[in-house]
Amino acid sequence: MPADLNPIDNAKFVAARRAVDFVEDGMKLGLGTGSTAAWMVRSLAERVRDEGLRVTCVATSRRTAELAVGLGLDVRTLDEVKWLDLTIDGADEFDTHLNLIKGGGAALLQEKIVATASDQMIVIADAAKEVAQLGAFPLPVEVIPFGWRTTKALVEETLVSMDVIGREVTLRMTGDQPLRTDGQNHILDLHLNRIGNPRQLSLVLNQIPGVVENGLFIDICDTVVVGHPDGRVQVRDINSGRFDEGRVALPPVENIFAGQD
């Protein structure tokens, strides 16, 4: 791991490293997508290498699969594995009820499928991702390319009756072309500022023709691991109400993280 990480990366790293402590030998694991999840994949690979853990992994995106395979992890498809013991993933926002906004990395559909096919979901995040109310981060909605402008208009019309502040909807681009997800769909980003009723909004959005899935993860996350730049880590379990705090030491440069982005 580079010695000159910025404070946010330090926080992401310690959260990821602590979350990997929940992994046990023989587990079937879902691997999330995003910068924090990438630290988790590297930490998991280090445990597999050093402790001889046997784990079977299902990736939530092509880029996570490529990283995991490159680090020597056993990656299978969800159809092969069928059900998972644990999924560890990041989040763009989470609230006190551990409801999430995900999809900043454009992998929300596969992330939600994998998370709901797991006995447990652990979210890893830096402290800045915790919010009193969801919505400051734009809510991603995955839509099929066919008729996406009509779908966008229907989403905008639906937002008029929802408990939100903003209603701007934008098509996510990559360069001058619409972004394509792993499923070859588009992403609409909903700039809502505040979501008063996430459960209602999630249900209503998914009824709109053309919408594949939205980035609201309601009642899916069981535990959140929050990292801080100074190495402190907090673990909150929504089911037991447990709250633990500890510290993760930053490792020396000479380890599995050397040479990684």
Tell me what the mean pLDDT of segment 77-96 comes to.
98
pLDDT confidence band for 72 (50 / 70 / 90): very high
Q: 32: annotated binding-site residue?
A: no
The answer to whether the CB of 193 falls within 8 A of the CB of 136 is yes
Q: 33: annotated binding-site residue?
A: yes
The answer to whether the CB of 140 falls within 8 A of the CB of 214 is yes
Q: 102: annotated binding-site residue?
A: yes
Judge whether residue 132 has pLDDT over 90.
yes
Best-predicted range by mean pLDDT (121-125, 248-252, 254-258): 121-125
Give me the pLDDT at residue 258, please: 43
7-131+219-247: CATH architecture:
3-Layer(aba) Sandwich (3.40)
Domain ranges of the chain: 7-131+219-247, 139-214
Judge whether residue 251 has pLDDT over 90.
no
The answer to whether the CB of 188 falls within 8 A of the CB of 140 is yes
pLDDT confidence band for 101 (50 / 70 / 90): very high
Judge whether residue 261 has pLDDT over 80.
no
pLDDT confidence band for 85 (50 / 70 / 90): very high
For domain 139-214, the question of CATH label 3.30.2010.10 is answered with no
Q: 92: annotated binding-site residue?
A: yes
Q: Active-site residue numbers?
A: 111
Query: Mean pLDDT in the chain?
Result: 94
Q: Is residue 159 classed as helix, strand or coil in its secondary structure?
A: helix
